[in-house]
Structure 1
């Protein structure tokens, strides 16, 4: 099983992006033009969002990723550092910072466009990390900033807690699922990704099938319906959805992963980890952009501090 000794350090490999967001009366149909309301640009990225959440909940997060030397990159770095994320390992090069475009429907659900640019900034090196077994955690949002799977597997074999957050867009790019599942102590994914990785529709069947392929813990997020967790020891947990006035679902899954790992690092039970991450993911949907402020997180920060 993944170590649950109180830990304070999370190393994250993952994307950093600037997300341009608009709101529409509905998501567009083919060959349809819609007027939209501009909501602005928000700093995001799966890796960055998880690192920010972990850091703002009282842990130490170190981010490996890449941004360009453009204004978008400078803006993203400034916000990360303001949140307490260690950005000393973020590569800054002459390429462009990753951009996304999100269309929000009236229910707050999103459709996202990921901009693939030839000159996009990329992570250029993976230095040796002096990680400590039963203390350090590694989290990966697979993509351009991912370490080799063999490196992740090596960390897991040394007793480092390893996790990954897998989504359908990664599978579209040919993610080598078997390797990632065997290298990770914890796998986070949504219903759609779970179904694609297993070929199953039944939730419990997906949990069982994913566990059989290597992880100690599998967490499937279900949006408004909450989340479910399964462990190799046979434990199964189902957390119902939290009532929230949803305006923007962007980043909720990233916040879920960051909060779950923060609670785990604080020595909380898996049941408590699931409850906390479910609440924070729901709260994230009540604001525009993919991140909460310290004001939103203050009650959770105090709760985690008392548990240590």
Structure 2
């Protein structure tokens, strides 16, 4: 890797309430849990921590409530060396919460947005200097869509690379896609955005998004790896790495941050995807989305194994 990039993440901050159980409950059923954990999370904050652990200068833009969870989230990010001056505190909404059931090596998640809904387009105007200072802007969909659109347009106007992780899945306007350099959906998100049924040919689905203005699409395929299609780098596939899975909660976030870090240093799409698969492989071997994010040294050591 070359110089350390500056990555600005505009997105959500949540407190993850993680309940461990032997199996998830069926509808209407009660099961006994084994443990409960209160873990800093939110897709935006997770990606910021992953970025900072890799060594990037990292700026977080978002919103929390004026409560204990909000204070804890900001302190956790500052502990990672993340610039949190652009995280505003609102008094009329609680901090966002994600309720996560962790069972049988997988998870089920319900997110309550809370203060994340107060991350608004006008906040970007006051933080434009921070966006202008970044090399790359990383976005997700746990804040209002109008804010995501505004962020992408602002970043492009300022000449920045825009990476969008379109999760949670929802249809997106062409106005947003036309301002995205790299789109990183999972398989189901890809099919939704392409307007095709599950099981459709992945490459043609990615091609349909390139036709809408996206420059590169990288589709994460879980344990199989990741496929990509790019105007500049063509098509390719990178297999995943075999590891002992402990918690998949932060897998997608670690992949997005890993790709963004590598891409911002000047790596090709293929090399950035390969780097991201290593980051994600390491992240799922530990409990907690943020706690599991690896350092650059750990990724480099994994590289040599």
Give TM-score scaled by structure 1 length. 0.86
Of residues 29-38 and 124-133 in structure 1, the stretch that sits farther from structure 2 once superposed is 124-133
Q: Deviations over 1:103-154 (max 9, x none)?
A: 1221x2111011255x777225222523559x62111112326635255235
Uncovered stretches (5+) of structure 2, i.e. residues with no partner: none
Rounded to whole Å, the distance in 1 between the matches of 2:142 and 2:284 is 24
Asked whether the equivalents of residues 16 and 47 of structure 1 are also in contact (C-alpha less than 8 Å), the reply is yes
Contact 1:64 1:145 in 2 (8 A): no
Q: Is residue 2:42 matched to residue 1:45?
A: yes
Name the counterpart of 1:23: 20
Distance 1:193 1:116, change over 3 A: same
* Aligned 8 A contact 1:92 1:121 in 2: no
Provide the C-alpha distance between the structure 2 equivalents of 1:252 and 1:116, rounded to a whole number of angstroms: 20
CA contact (8 A) 2:132 2:155 kept: no
Change (3 A) 1:303 1:216: farther
Mapped to 2, the partners of 1:264 and 1:179 lie a distance apart of 23
Match of 1:103 among 85, 101, 104: 101
> Which one is further off, 152-161 or 230-239?
152-161
Determine if the alignment matches structure 1 residue 215 to structure 2 residue 236.
no
8 Å CA contact retained: 2:40, 2:76: yes
Q: CA RMSD in A?
A: 2.6
Higher relative contact order (CA 8 A, sep 6+): 1
Q: CA deviation at 1:183?
A: 1.3
Matching residue of 2:185: 189
Deviation at 1:303, TM superposition (A): 9.8
Structure 1, residues 6-25: CA drift from partner, whole Å, max 9, x if none? 56211111000110111222
1:259 and 2:258 equivalent?
A: yes
Matches within 5 A, 1:117-156: 117=114, 122-123=118-119, 125-126=123-124, 127=126, 129-130=128-129, 131=131, 136-144=135-143, 147=147, 149-156=149-156
Kindly tell me: are residues 132 and 5 of structure 1, through their superposed partners in 2, closer, same or farther at Cα, counting changes over 3 Å? farther
Q: 1:74 deviation in Å?
A: 1.2
Could you tell me whether the CA contact under 8 Å between 2:282 and 2:292 is conserved in 1? no
1:268 aligns with 2:267: yes
Deviations 1:74-101 (A, max 9, x none): 1111111111110000011222110011
Q: Tell whether 2:138 aligns with 1:113.
A: no
CA positional deviation for 1:157: 4.7
Partner secondary structure for residue 276 of structure 2: helix
Distance 1:17 1:237 in 2: 34
2:52 corresponding residue in structure 1:
55
Deviation at residue 29 of structure 1 after TM alignment: 1.9
**Preserved contact between residue 97 and residue 121 of structure 1 (Cα < 8 Å):** no
